[in-house]
Amino acid sequence: MSPRRTPAPPPGELRDSLPFPKAAKIELANVQQRANLRHATHTIRAKRAQVVGELDDWEALRTAGAQIKDRVLRNLDDYLEQLEASLTAAGATVHWARDAEEANRIVIDLVRATGQDEVVKVKSMATQEIELNEALERAGIAAWETDLAELIVQLGHDRPSHILVPAIHRNRSEVREIFLEEMGTYGEAAPPDLDDEPAHLAAASRSHLREKFLRAKVAVSGANFAVAETGTLVVVESEGNGRMCLTLPETLISVVGIEKIVPTVEDLEVYLQLLPRSSTGERMNPYTSMWTGTTPGDGPQDVHVVLLDNGRTTALADEVGRKALRCIRCSACLNICPVYERVGGHAYGSVYPGPIGAILTPQLRGLGSKVDRSLPFASSLCGACYDVCPVKIPIPELLVHLRHKVVQEKAAHHEVHAETAAMKATSWIFADSRRMEAALKLPSFGGKVLRGRLNHFGPLPYPASLWTTARDVPVPPSESFRDWWARERGGQR
């Protein structure tokens, strides 16, 4: 076997990750990561709130953002055919991929047809989702991530933990160490006197990637939006690495989820106001690129678009679940989420972490793995995610809906589910007043003993452990309501 071209990611498949409560427990013990995440999420929340507050019509924009996506989803087949026709007319070649494997094979074949053995990549969630980099590596093609955070993740033999800022779990001194250690193996080394100033770290990535940009013949991107009427693709970015990839190479391959469509050019005025303010908390991101097929004398002349399903049509078939397909990948729901802030992105076992990941991943991958069945429960249902969502995805509603599906799935496989077991026991007790009396006395006895010493219980033994491994239980009161009533009102009816 020939040696690897690019840094190896951690071993194992994402979907075989530990279920969320177990993974969360491990992540919570990482004190450095919790400090990094707390700092980062609080910074971005404040920036977002400020720039959103500047727009008087923010709520109207959110409503329009949701409606336009709903319109697209309702007639997705028509819009896809329209997009295919306009892309083809503009000089692009359109490919369709049912799943990750098919998409990866298409990209590998397209790269091989150019005779090249490396590609530069624009940050793209779709290509993360299909694990394109590893598929290319297995085919002997090196894929270089060029977004700074993706570069930190790739060089760090790590996995992304955030949609927008995949290296959010790393602080500046960790980034410095990764750069010093790894850059030289894969290209221009970091200067030996590199310190941990973010500006100097960014400069190191500029010189490391420069030679890769200048020699690249093939680039792979995703797209934030695909305009059906014109075939225009849009990429929103900050650093200029996107522009380098979209402009300098001869061949450009874009992997685009089928839900990325907007109907018309005018619709972009809604999303290009919603997205930057929701994601980086800026009035506008530094660079937005739009291209329509090929342009003679400007940019790649060999342009391909791979339209990716990979579970999206399954989500579309669920009349509640399909609302998750409105998502424009801004990550505002991650940044606001009290659960994400504490456990970070890796515990979600998916390239889509946080609240949106908890509703998107189990729909795209199905409920076959333990981690996917645990994700809809990775929330306290506080609702902050809905409040900040620029396309008004009712995330708590979808979480509850998917919890129901998980319970049904488990019942079908005779698996014990905590709530189901508890509810069964409760209904047996509630059905008889003597059982009820007796049951109420039990905890109050415990309550009398424990009150004043403890406020809550930690984990309890099985079967209560199904509930208490991830939750505290308050110590019961020393007297039940029935006892109090009997004492105070002398058993009046």
- Which of 33, 133, 288, 480 lies at the binding interface for other proteins (CB under 8 A)? 288
Of 120 and 358, CB closest to other proteins: 120
Cβ distance 240 to 275 under 8 Å?
no
Going residue by residue from 101 to 140, which x/- string records binding to other proteins, judged by CB under 8 A? -x--------------------------------------
The span from the CA of 402 to the CA of 391, in Å, is 20
Contacts of 299 (CB under 8 A, 6+ apart): 246, 247, 252, 291
Residues 171-191 as b/e (b if ≥16 CB within 10 A, e otherwise) read beebbbebbbebbeebeebbe
Residues 26-55 that bind other proteins (CB under 8 A): 36, 39-40, 43-44, 55
Determine which residue in the list 38, 283, 404, 487 makes contact with other proteins, applying CB under 8 A.
283
Task: State which residue, 198 or 458, has the beta carbon closest to other proteins.
Answer: 198
- CB nearer to other proteins: pick between 263 and 443: 263
**Per CB under 8 A, does 178 bind other proteins?**
no
Does residue 361 bind other proteins (CB under 8 A)?
A: no
CB 250 within 8 A of CB 301: yes
The CA-based angle 45-322-311, given to 5 degrees, is 100
309 three-state secondary structure: coil
User: Which range touches other proteins (CB under 8 A), out of 25-33, 244-252, 350-358, 372-380?
Assistant: 244-252
Residue among 27, 145, 158, 239 that touches other proteins (CB under 8 A): 239
Binders of other proteins among residues 257 to 276 (CB under 8 A) are 258, 265-266, 268-270, 272-273, 276
247 binds other proteins (CB under 8 A): yes
Asked if residues 27 and 346 have their Cβ atoms less than 8 Å apart, the reply is yes
The residue type of 417 is: H
* Exposure class string for 112-137: b at 16+ Cβ within 10 A, else e: eeeebebbbbbbbbbbbbbbbbebbb
- By beta-carbon proximity to other proteins, the closer residue of 58 and 457 is 58
Q: What angle do CA 236, 241, 246 make, to 5 degrees?
A: 70
Question: Could you tell me which stretch among 183-191, 228-236, 359-367, 384-392 binds other proteins (CB under 8 A)?
Answer: 228-236
Q: Is residue 224 part of the contact set for other proteins (CB under 8 A)?
A: no
**Which residues in the 312-341 window bind other proteins by CB under 8 A?**
313-314, 316-317, 319, 322
Contact call for residue 295 and other proteins (CB under 8 A): yes
Q: How far is the CB of 74 from other proteins (least distance, A)?
A: 6
- Sequence-distant (6+) residues with CB within 8 A of 400 are 376, 381
Binding range to other proteins, per CB under 8 A, among 293-301, 433-441, 455-463, 483-491: 293-301
User: Cα dihedral sign for 218, 222, 228, 232?
Assistant: negative
Minimum separation from the CB atom of position 264 to other proteins (A): 9
Nearest to 91 by CA among 307, 306, 304: 304
